[in-house]
Amino acid sequence: MSPERAAASSVRQPGLVLTDHFFDVPLDHAVPDGERIRIYAREVVAAGRMRDDLPWLVFLQGGPGCAAGRPVGREGWLDRALDEYRVLLLDQRGTGRSTPANRQTLPLRGTPAEQAAYLAHFRADSIVRDCEHIRPLLTGGRPWSVLGQSFGGFCAVTYLSYAPEGLAEVLITGGLPSLDADADEVYRAAYPRMERKCLAHYARYPGDEAAARRIAAHLAEHEEVLPDGTLLTVEAFQQLGILLGTGDGSHRLHYLLEDAFVDTVDGPRLSDAFGEQVAAVLTRADNPLYAILHEAIYAQDGRATHWSAERIRSEFPQFAYGFDSGARFLFTGETVHPWMLRTHAALRPLRHTAELLAEHKGWTPLYDAERLARNEVPVAAAVYHDDLYVDTDHSLRTARAIAGLRTWVTDEYEHDGVRASGRVVLDRLLGLVRGEV
């Protein structure tokens, strides 16, 4: 057994066999003999097929900074994948059971500057090199297939750019990034989408705007702290708009808003039940890298992102909260702001580290447009019409730039289509990539 790979252990669920894998990989792949970190991946195979010579499919989770899902039986897209693949659910570096990177562990690295230097190795390029380090240990050198959801799709395009020899086929859902747009361009396109999604929500649930304004007015006058220690400001409350990018998110937001207040001896206050639900949406305790590295996923021209979402928000004054009865109350979406380092309990200890990363210069390219134009790997991508999280126009421009890529543009699903659709989205992508549809 390779010293880079720990002994595997397996457990069973109805219809599945799950096997743990741990791999030691270089922190910096440019320094292969330097410091190493641990990467965890869960192998999933259909019961009764453990000994079959199945091709591998690696699932790259959305994020950044989110661990792979934990399966419970043959559900959703995994059910379709297990018809013909041995699936690898990768906990990307810093997440899940891989060497963790959070408020508890990062101080072990030393100063905020040392923490920031460490986290600079946690972008898509490093994740791809982790995959290439792991691949020969599992496949014997054969290329494998990749399914990338959201940020996982960004990683897949990086994979196509720098290690296409490791890929048999690539399937992307809601994750075709712009090859050249910087963070400012990304957010300049994002705020109008946030507004459209918010107004569409109010058209569905007309009473929700008044309910949202009442909550915002309360927050402007009262300090409310969520169960996880997060300070719920008006701006933090607006971030519940992140729900509007998923298939059931509008309904979830409606039910959250309709029963927010409870009468107390001090007058109306936000209920504990409301606070628990809001905390579950806004917390960054389980994925702090989602906030700390979010803008870095768009950085590749050597310039600092400098809190892009916050700066660009000022170009869209309709998102500023006020008591003007004629103004709309707008939720926001997938944005990260410097004030979150004060309001969000899990981010406060990482404030200086996050500030250094926001000012970091020297980010290197994540995509190779010339190589993508010569791509020979079969690729198919689901592009969700008016996706809240990934700009449709950016995605289609990238689709045209990758040779041989086939798209399925649909408004049947939101950004989480591959999860919400059961077998449908993955089955369609497999048909596209194989020329069957």
How far is it, in rounded angstroms, from Cα 188 to Cα 372? 26
- In this prediction, residues 85-92 reach a mean pLDDT of 98
- In this prediction, residues 100-124 reach a mean pLDDT of 97
**Angle at the Cα of 246 from the Cα atoms of 245 and 247, rounded to 5 degrees:** 130
Residue 141 identity (one-letter amino acid): G
- In this prediction, residues 380-390 reach a mean pLDDT of 97
Exactly one of 182, 184, 208, 387 is catalytic; which is it?
Answer: 387
Q: Which residues of 41-55 are buried (b: 16+ CB within 10 A; e: fewer)?
A: bbbbbbeeeeeeeee
Per residue in 200-221, pLDDT (tens digit) is 999 999 999 999 999 999 999 9
- In this prediction, residues 90-110 reach a mean pLDDT of 97
Q: 41 near 21, Cβ under 8 Å?
A: yes
Q: Is the pLDDT of residue 177 over 90?
A: yes
Per residue in 160-169, pLDDT (tens digit) is 999 999 999 9
Parallel/antiparallel/unpaired status of strands 144-149 and 36-46? unpaired
Average per-residue pLDDT for the chain = 95
Whole-number pLDDT of residue 1: 40
Per residue in 287-323, pLDDT (tens digit) is 999 999 999 999 998 999 999 999 999 999 999 987 5
Taking CA atoms, 332 is separated from 56, 60, 319, 328, in Å, by 38, 26, 8, 12
387 is catalytic: yes
* Nearest of 197, 204, 88 to residue 137 by alpha carbon: 88
Q: Is it true that the peptide bond before 64 is cis, omega within 30 degrees of 0?
A: yes
325 is catalytic: no
Q: Hey, what CATH topology would domain 9-179+367-433 get?
A: Rossmann fold (3.40.50)
Confidence of residue 3 (pLDDT cuts 50, 70, 90): low
Exactly one of 150, 161, 178, 421 is catalytic; which is it?
Answer: 150
- In this prediction, residues 414-422 reach a mean pLDDT of 94
Per residue in 228-260, pLDDT (tens digit) is 999 999 999 999 999 999 999 999 999 999 989
Confidence of residue 437 (pLDDT cuts 50, 70, 90): confident
Whole-structure pTM over 0.85, yes or no? yes
* Nearest of 382, 335, 399 to residue 193 by alpha carbon: 335
Q: 144 near 168, Cβ under 8 Å?
A: yes
Show me where the domains of the chain are located. Answer: 9-179+367-433, 183-358
Exactly one of 344, 415, 416, 421 is catalytic; which is it?
Answer: 415
Other C-beta atoms closer than 10 Å to the C-beta of 352 total 14
415 is catalytic: yes
Residue 290 identity (one-letter amino acid): Y
Half-sphere exposure of 268 (CA within 13 A, CB side): 10
Per residue in 354-378, pLDDT (tens digit) is 999 999 999 999 999 999 999 999 9
Half-sphere exposure of 306 (CA within 13 A, CB side): 9
Per residue in 7-29, pLDDT (tens digit) is 678 999 999 999 999 999 999 99
Whole-number pLDDT of residue 7: 63
Whole-number pLDDT of residue 327: 81
Other C-beta atoms closer than 10 Å to the C-beta of 107 total 15
Whole-number pLDDT of residue 292: 97
